[in-house]
Amino acid sequence: MNFKLPLFLLLFVSNFTIAQQSISVKGSAPFPATQEYTFICEKYAFTGEIKVQIAKTDKGGILKLTVATANDKARIAGGVYVDLANADVIACTDKNVKESTDGKTTSYYYFTPAEWIKLKKNDIYAVRFIIVGGPDNFGNQTGHFTAHNKMNYFSTAYDKTKKSFDTAKEISVL
């Protein structure tokens, strides 16, 4: 009986520490981050999804976008637009901070302190991005894409469960 309480506390603390995510950009110190969300991108035929993660920094925040690609030439480039649930839009400029490994490309974009406050108050509705790459036969799909904050591709009208991620809630905890 005496061992149950310490064991329970140990499991609780270990689960809490595992739940904390972090992002490190090109060798920098790790920043506390949200979970990695999988947004649905119906027009991107290669995978149909993009991974989105947000971290808090001293000067605002970081947006990490990761997408699987068919070849190493393809990458996320140019500006990104983050559409919020209240119809506000945050424009992120490309600072050319990118990584490519294991058939995936990752790009990082930065938020100002004012944009961070907007993210804390409103859920992300969608992320608009561009994939560029070299032209070749059977290559990667390139162009402009919109990834929506949806948990599943399909749902019914009778399904009353939440269908999107609570991004504002997780961002405000950071």
Provide the residue type at 34 as one letter: T
- Between residues 162 and 35, which one has the greater pLDDT? 35
Q: Which of 142, 140, 161 is nearest to 152 (CA)?
A: 161
- Per this entry, what is the length of the chain? 174
Residue 20 is predicted with a pLDDT of: 63
Residue 10 is predicted with a pLDDT of: 43
Q: Which of 145, 17, 152 is nearest to 74 (CA)?
A: 145
Lowest-confidence pick of 16-25, 104-113, 164-173: 16-25
Tens of pLDDT along 62-94?
A: 999 999 988 888 899 999 999 999 999 999 988
Strand (E) or helix (H) holding 76: strand 75-84
pLDDT tier for residue 2 given thresholds of 50, 70 and 90: low
pLDDT tier for residue 23 given thresholds of 50, 70 and 90: confident
Measured distance CA(106)–CA(98) in Å, rounded: 6
pLDDT tier for residue 160 given thresholds of 50, 70 and 90: confident
Per-residue pLDDT at 119 exceeds 50: yes
Tens of pLDDT along 31-60?
A: 999 999 999 998 888 889 999 999 999 989
Q: Which of 51, 36, 171 is nearest to 116 (CA)?
A: 171
Contact (CB, 8 A) for 77 and 95:
no
Residue 162, both tokens: 């939440």
Contact (CB, 8 A) for 84 and 63:
no
Would you say the C-alpha torsion 52, 56, 57, 61 has a positive or negative sign? Answer: positive
- Between residues 4 and 125, which one has the greater pLDDT? 125
Residue 24 is predicted with a pLDDT of: 73
pTM reported for the whole predicted model: 0.81
Q: Which residues contact 56 (CB under 8 A, 6 or more apart)?
A: 31, 32, 33, 116, 171, 174
